[in-house]
Amino acid sequence: NFMLTQPHSVSESPGKTVTISCTGSSGSIASNYVQWYQQRPGSAPSTVIYEDSQRPSGVPDRFSGSIDSSSNSASLTISGLKTEDEADYYCQSYDGSTFWVFGGGTKLTVL
Amino acid sequence: QLQLRESGPGLVKPSETLSLTCTVSGGSITSTNYYWGWIRQPPGKGLEWIGNIYYTGSTYYNPSLKSRVTISVHTSRNQFSLQLTSVTAADTAVYYCAPIQPGGNWFDPWGQGILVTVSS
């Protein structure tokens, strides 16, 4: 089955920019949309990016998403890091047929 | 604006059946826009898609759970439900429900989640 692979953890300082990758195991990641969810401890996930690069209302423009077909990966970039951005981030996609999949999640530490 | 809430027992014995209900408010479960999904998260681990249902009863299941999962829809109550049979400690998790947004096939908004512990 289709799988999405994320780094286990990333860390960066406040005010800096961090990028989290999400690599597809097979096929073209560009064939189906990728979403990104933020999950703070004890809370349900919430969407920060949908359809590769779209931001829901209320999500600051410090959050952006992109697709790189050459590496078969999606990326979530957070600029101007704030301590409140510290959370787990999950990518998610769909195989185009019958299967929805999440990446393993990346713990972002802002220190 | 859609809101979803999970309900059901927080403790299930090994080998028994886990049963949860998701109640939808702020919209109709018979909307042609959405599939309705279940996702779970074991303590300290990542998210796992369980399955989806359309208001007509059409379902998709994660192949790794398919033999034990049934998702049903109850249109008169604006609810859908999850049954997971023959549970073990590995099924201990927070269970979430969410609608699947058309187009991008993304889950939003999520219910608050319910912790289900499998233990004797």
Q: Is B109 part of the contact surface with chain A (CB cutoff 8 Å)? A: yes
Q: Is A80 on the interface with B (CB under 8 A)?
A: no
CB B83 within 8 A of CB B74: no
Closest Cβ–Cβ partner in A32, A45, A100 for B110: A45
- Does B54 reach chain A within 8 Å, measured CB to CB? no
pLDDT in tens, B25-84: 999 999 888 999 999 999 999 999 999 999 999 999 999 999 999 999 999 999 999 999
A7 touches A21 (CB < 8 A): yes
The identity of residue B115, as a single letter, is L
Check B63 against A1: CB less than 8 A apart: yes
Query: Residue A97 has what pLDDT?
Result: 79
| Whole-Å CA distances, B97 to A48, A93, B47 | 18, 17, 12
Residue B110 contacts residue A46 (beta carbons within 8 Å)? yes
- Whether A47 and B106 lie within 8 Å, measured CB to CB: yes
pLDDT at A76: 98
* Residue from B64, B10, B13, B62 nearest B39 by CA: B62
Percentage above 90 pLDDT, chain A = 86
For B110, which of A44, A93, A102 is closest by C-beta distance?
Answer: A44
Name residues whose C-beta falls within 8 Å of residue B88's C-beta, 6 or more positions apart in sequence: B14, B15, B118
CA B3 to chain centre: 14
Residues of B in contact with A51 (CB under 8 A): 103-104, 106
Q: Which of A57, A53, A59 is nearest to A74 (CA)?
A: A53
